[in-house]
């Protein structure tokens, strides 16, 4: 499946939904924000949000600091 991930075209067949994608990328869900095709997704919805050919996925990592 081909989609844009943070503006870069990627091909991945190891994830069928957002939750699986986050897991495959080894990201901590607690510090990760995801937008799919311009819509911010709540973490509890990730398992139900399927990845589709041509999706635009933006992933942000939240970090504390000062």
- Give the pLDDT confidence of 2-53 residue by residue, as tens digits: 999 999 999 999 999 999 999 999 999 999 999 999 999 999 999 999 999 9
Does this model's pTM top 0.75? My answer is: yes
CA distances from 35 to 32, 38, 40, 64 (A): 10, 6, 4, 20
Say what the pLDDT of residue 11 is. 96
CA distances from 29 to 23, 24, 54 (A): 8, 12, 23
Q: Which helix (H) or strand (E) holds 57?
A: strand 56-61
């Amino acid at each position: 499946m081909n989609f844009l991930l943070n503006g870069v075209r990627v091909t991945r067949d190891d994830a069928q939904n957002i939750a699986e994608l986050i897991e495959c990328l080894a990201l901590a869900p607690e510090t990760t924000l995801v937008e799919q095709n311009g819509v911010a997704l709540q973490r509890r919805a990730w398992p139900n949000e399927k990845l589709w050919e041509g999706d635009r996925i933006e992933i942000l990592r939240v970090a504390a600091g000062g």
